[in-house]
Structure 1
Amino acid sequence: MSSEATRGRLVHAAGQTPVCPALHTLTDARALVNGKTVGASQAELYLVEIHPGGEGLEDSHPGCEHGFFVLSGEGEAYVEGEHFALRPDDSLFIPKGARHSVRPTGGQSLKMIVFMAPHRT
C-alpha cells in the first residue's frame, strides 16, 4: 500500500492561477511542482510565459540551481554577463548564485518550463 509520501500527484497547468513573480514584468507563472502544489521538498517547476515588453530582471538564487527549457517564442538571457539567445527546445542551466535575467525577443511571448533545485526557502 502506498503512503501519502509515495503517491504521485497530477497538476494541470491551466488549473493553476498565474502570478507575476517578483522582479518580473508582464509575466504569467504557473506553479506545477512545489511545496504548495504537490508537497515537493526538493524542487520547484513552473510554466512561465513572459509577454512582449516583459522581462525577468536580474536576480540570483544563492541556494539553488536554476534553469529554463524553452517551449515557444524566442528570447535572450544573460548569466553573469554572458549572452544567450533562446529558441524553442533550448535549455539553459544557471548555477547557484549566478546573476541572470531573461526577456522575449521577436514580438512573441517566451514560454518556458523553469526549474529550481533544491527549492527556494
Structure 2
Amino acid sequence: MQSKHLRFGKGFRPAFTVRKVQAAEMVLAPGACEGGPDNAHRGTDQWLFVVSGTGLAIVDGARRRLRAGSLLVIERGERHEIRNTGRTPLRTLNVYAPPAYDAEGEPLPAGRPPRASRKG
C-alpha cells in the first residue's frame, strides 16, 4: 500500500506511481494555463478531477467548463489545454494510465515506465 497527503502547493508534481498508473497534483494560478494546441500525451490517458477552483478544458477543440467535482477524461493523443478562469487557484488531481511523467515531472517517452516510484 502507498499513501500520501497531497498539499496542492504550486505547479505540477507527480505524487507516486504504482505499476501502470500514476497520480499527480496540479495547481494553476488565476489566469494561468497548462498545455496548448500542440499538447497531447501520445501513450497515456489522463483522468483530471477538479478538487477546487474553476476553469476551462479545451480538448481537440471542444470546450468544457471545470469546477469542483468535475471529472474529465483526456484520451491518449487528444490535444488539450487546461485554463484557470477563476479568481482562486485551480487544483486538480490527475491520474495517468500508463504513467506519463518521471519523479521530477518531466514527460516520459510513450510506453516507458518511470525508473522509481515515489512512496509517501
TM-score grouping bracket, smaller chain normalisation: 0.7 to 0.9
Q: Summarize the alignment of residues 10-29 of structure 1 with structure 2, pairs less than 5 Å apart.
A: 10-14=3-7, 28-29=11-12
**What is the identity percentage for the equivalent residue pairs of Structure 1 and Structure 2?**
27
Q: Which runs of 5 or more residues in structure 1 are unaligned? A: 1-7, 19-26, 35-39
The TM-score with structure 1 as length reference comes to 0.74
The TM-score with structure 2 as length reference comes to 0.75
Q: Which runs of 5 or more residues in structure 2 are unaligned? A: 101-111, 113-120
**What secondary structure is seen at the aligned counterpart in 1 of 2:35?**
strand
Bigger-Rg structure (1/2): 1
Name the structure, 1 or 2, with higher relative contact order (CA <8 Å, separation 6+): 2
Aligned residues: 99
Question: 1:64 matched to which residue of 2?
Answer: 44
The worse-fitting range, judged by mean Cα deviation, of 45-54 and 87-96 is 45-54
Deviation sequence 1:6-64 (CA, Å, 0-9, x none): xx1222224x9x6xxxxxxxx51232222xxxxx2201111211111211022101101
Which structure has the highest helix share of the two? 1
1:118 aligns with 2:90: no
1:44 aligns with 2:22: yes
